[in-house]
Amino acid sequence: MVLGIIEGITEFLPVSSTGHMIIGSSIMGIASDDFTKTFTVVIQLGAILSVIVLYWKKFLPAKGNLAGSIDFYKKLLIAFIPAVIFGVLFKSYIDMLLENVIVVAVALLIGGIIFLMLDKWFAHAEERGNEELKSDKKAFKIGMFQVLAMVPGVSRSAATIIGGLTQGLNKKGAAEFSFFLAVPTMFGATVKDLWDFYQKGNGFQEGQIQLLIFGNIVAFIVAMLAIKTFINFLTKHGFKVFGYYRILVGSLILILHLMGVELSMF
């Protein structure tokens, strides 16, 4: 339940859901075995379902606007391609990073410092009024930003929102495209992770299927609330709060590490 709540809150916030689940698992002393890794990926399905439910009009072909729907899915596919290529090429290296809390801490800290400057860099973003991408090339560039989030702690949401802002979207448009892009990205990651899980000769033991279902339900409910809250907060208050939060968490983890404190002791 705790990991489902963490996933639901952080998946669409620019604070790194993967990083927070690694931290949460470490604090609770959960063993980093194959099922735990699979669980933290698979419960993303609950989170992406919340996007489809909240933005169902976007994902269903609009009557009389089939061309618009095709263009929407084409841009998602184009933005998704870089993650597929890099994910396949560097899967084993990414899995290794998933076990390193210090990588998460450093990524949170650096990302937080960048976030403190974002409002100044994109001070005129809201004047653009752009909530829709205008070209396939811009969609691909946002997809390249998403690749940065393969480092745990960077945050897929943060990387794609920044990517959207650099491509002329306003804050609301960048955040929403980040939500939409999460659907194929996280679904693909889930399918790949389940495939790898079975390829290693693993199988779900008694009670584990129920855990996955429960985690997805919790992530779905919490993500529904988080998405609605985040859009309103971001357009009104900007990125600084998330920057301070990332710096605080990243610094705290590094300090504890330098003091020789193991997170699993809490």
pLDDT at position 131: 67
For the record, the structure tokens of 148 come out as 């940065």
C-alpha 48/C-alpha 51 separation (Å) is 5
Kindly tell me if the per-residue pLDDT of 133 is higher than 90. Answer: no
pLDDT for 183-214, tens place per residue? 998 888 888 888 888 888 788 888 889 999 99
Closest by Cα among 163, 228, 165 to 8: 228
Dihedral sign of CA atoms 98, 99, 103, 108 in order? positive
pLDDT at position 202: 80
pLDDT for 23-45, tens place per residue? 888 788 776 777 887 888 889 89
Neighbours of 129 (CB within 10 A): 10
Degrees, nearest 5: CA angle 120-121-123: 60
CA 215 to chain centre: 16
Judge contact between 152 and 17, C-beta under 8 A: no
Judge contact between 197 and 211, C-beta under 8 A: no
Judge contact between 170 and 129, C-beta under 8 A: yes
Judge contact between 126 and 171, C-beta under 8 A: yes
Closest by Cα among 9, 24, 36 to 220: 9
C-alpha 196/C-alpha 4 separation (Å) is 22
Q: What is the mean pLDDT of the chain?
A: 85
Q: pLDDT grade, residue 95 (50/70/90)?
A: low
C-alpha 26/C-alpha 262 separation (Å) is 8
For the chain, give every domain's residue range: 2-265
136-164 burial code (b ≥16 CB/10 A, e <16): eebbbbbbebbbbbbbbbbbbbbbbbbbb
C-alpha 8/C-alpha 13 separation (Å) is 9
